[in-house]
Amino acid sequence: MYAFFVAPFADFAFMQRALAGSLMLSLGACPVGVFLMLRRMSLSGDAMAHAILPGAAAGFLFYGLEILPMTIGGLIAGVVVALGAGAVSRFSIQREDASMAAFYLISLAIGVLMVSIRGSSVDLMHVLFGTVLALNNEALVLIGGIAVVTLAALTVLWRALVAECLDPLFLRSVSRLGSPVHFIFLGLVVLNLVGGFQALGTLLSVGLMILPAAAARFWSQRVGPMCVLAVMIGFASCVAGLLLSYHAALPSGPAIILSAGAAYMLSILAGSRGVLRSRLVHHRHRTA
Task: Give residue 143's Cα distance to chain centre.
Answer: 12
Tell me if 143 sits within 8 A of 198, measured CB to CB: yes
Place 54 in a pLDDT band, splitting at 50, 70 and 90.
Answer: confident
- Report the b/e string of 248-258 with b at 16+ CB within 10 A: eeebbbbbbbb
Tell me whether residue 164 is exposed, middle or buried, using C-beta atoms within 10 angstroms of its C-beta: 0 to 12, 13 to 18, 19 or more.
buried
Instruction: Average the pLDDT over 255-276 and give the result.
Output: 89
Q: Quick one: which H or E segment has residue 125?
A: helix 121-129
Q: Where are the domains of the chain?
A: 2-287
Q: How many CB atoms lie within 10 A of CB 40?
A: 10
The pLDDT tens digits for 123-141 are 667 777 777 888 888 889 9
- Could you give the residue ranges of the DSSP H alpha helices within the chain? 7-11, 13-38, 42-51, 53-63, 67-91, 96-118, 121-129, 137-166, 168-174, 178-216, 223-248, 252-270, 275-287
For residue 288, pLDDT beyond 60: no
In the chain, pLDDT over 90 holds for what percent of residues? 35
List pLDDT tens digits, range 36-48. Answer: 988 887 777 777 7
pLDDT band at 275 (very low <50, low <70, confident <90, very high): confident
* Residue 107 CB burial class (10 angstroms; 0-12, 13-18, ≥19): buried
pLDDT band at 26 (very low <50, low <70, confident <90, very high): very high
Amino acid at 186: L
Rounded Cα distance, 66 and 68, in Å: 6
Question: What 8-state DSSP symbol labels residue 272?
Answer: T
Rounded-to-integer distance, Cα 192 and Cα 26, Å: 9
Quote the percentage of the chain above a pLDDT of 70: 89
**Residue burial 78-102, b: 16+ Cβ < 10 Å; e: rest:** bbbbbebbbebbeeeeeebeebbbb
pLDDT band (50, 70, 90) for residue 209: very high
Q: Does the domain at residues 2-287 carry the CATH identifier 1.10.3470.10?
A: yes
Q: Do residues 232 and 9 touch, judged by C-beta distance below 8 A?
A: no
**Predicted pLDDT at 286:** 63
Overall average pLDDT of the 60-70 stretch: 79
pLDDT, average across residues 130-157 = 89
Q: Distance (Å, rounded) from C-alpha 71 to C-alpha 63?
A: 12
Q: Are 50 and 207 in contact (CB under 8 A)?
A: no
Residue 178 pLDDT > 80: no
Kindly indicate the confidence band of residue 248, based on its pLDDT and cuts at 50, 70 and 90: very high
Mean of pLDDT over the chain: 84
Nearest Cα neighbor of 253 from 235, 264, 237 is 237
pLDDT(171) > 80 = no
